[in-house]
A and B are shown apart, each in its own frame.
Chain A
Amino acid sequence: KNEVEQSPQNLTAQEGEFITINCSYSVGISALHWLQQHPGGGIVSLFMLSSGKKKHGRLIATINIQEKHSSLHITASHPRDSAVYICAVAGNQFYFGTGTSLTVIP
């Protein structure tokens, strides 16, 4: 069993759609990270959060510690948002989800 589960694994959306990617985890954590990995491989840290909600531009991340669940939302999606989104949790070690591959079609 994976400590971090993401859903969906793959997601295709039309430009402009509202997108939600979910992350559930089974371990106690100090923080949760959302990472973005572009097709070329480069990783960008989007958010680190331990409670509540954070917003950066069109991206919103929420976390519910009691339910051990986090969501990443993208509003008004754009083709340049196409990437793999990875959820990672910091417990006694770092655990990574297998990622959600997002494709936004113009």
Chain B
Amino acid sequence: GAVVSQHPSRVICKSGTSVKIECRSLDFQATTMFWYRQFPKQSLMLMATSNEGSKATYEQGVEKDKFLINHASLTLSTLTVTSAHPEDSSFYICSASGRSSYEQYFGPGTRLTVT
């Protein structure tokens, strides 16, 4: 099956700094990439959808200026958490799809801890 990687898998940063998380589709071209956030013991929550070369579509309640998403190529999307605060600590997961949006392949996730 298709493989999606995320980097880093874990990151600890200080409050006020920015953190970039990369999501790569390793063996297919991802037309669309999705970014999710997961709080402890809860299900995945969609943050935004990005299509290659265009601006991301954010879900209601997600601050686009805080969570910057770039989908510059068909194999790479990045999520930058700007001016991180402890409440941004969470597990961030990306997924990618090719031509069919229902075929989503999930990355392993990135655990962000803001101190």
Bind each other? yes
A44 close to chain B: CB less than 8 A: yes
Rounded to whole Å, the gap between the CB of A92 and the closest CB of chain B is 9
0 or 1 for each of A24-54: is its CB under 8 Å from B? (1 = yes): 0000011101010000111111001010000
- A25 to chain B: closest CB distance in Å? 13
Give B residues with C-beta under 8 Å from A.
Answer: 1, 9, 34, 38, 42-44, 46, 91, 93, 100-109, 111
With A42-B9, A43-B93 as contacts: A98 and B108 at CB distance below 8 Å: no
Q: Are B103 and A48 in contact (CB under 8 A)?
A: yes
- Tell me the A residues contacting B by CB distance below 8 Å: 29-31, 33, 35, 40-45, 48, 50, 86, 88, 90, 93-94, 96-99
Q: What are 15 residue pairs bridging A and B, where the CB atoms are less than 8 Å apart in the complex?
A: A40-B111, A41-B38, A41-B91, A42-B9, A43-B106, A43-B108, A44-B108, A45-B106, A90-B101, A90-B102, A90-B104, A93-B46, A94-B34, A96-B43, A96-B44
For the A-B complex, the count of residue pairs with Cβ-Cβ distances under 8 Å equals: 46
User: Whole-angstrom distance between the alpha carbons of A44 and B46 in the complex?
Assistant: 17
A24 CA to B44 CA, complexed, in Å:
17
| Chain A residue contacts of B38, Cβ below 8 A | 41
Q: How far apart are B16's CB and chain A's nearest CB, in angstroms?
A: 25
How far is it, in angstroms, between the C-alpha of A41 and the C-alpha of B89 when the chains are bound?
13
Bound Cα distance A90, B34 (Å): 13
* A42 and B34 contacting across the interface, CB-CB below 8 Å: no
Complex Cα gap A31–B105 (Å):
12
* CA–CA, A25 and B102, complex, Å: 15
In the complex, chain B residues whose CB is within 8 Å of the CB of A97: 43
Cβ of B63 to closest chain A Cβ, rounded Å: 20
Contact between B42 and A98 (Cβ–Cβ < 8 Å)? yes
B24 to chain A, nearest CB (A): 15
Nearest-CB residue, chain B, relative to A99: B43
- Return B106 CB to nearest CB of chain A, in Å: 5
Measured in the bound complex, the distance between the Cα atoms of B27 and A3 in whole Å is: 32
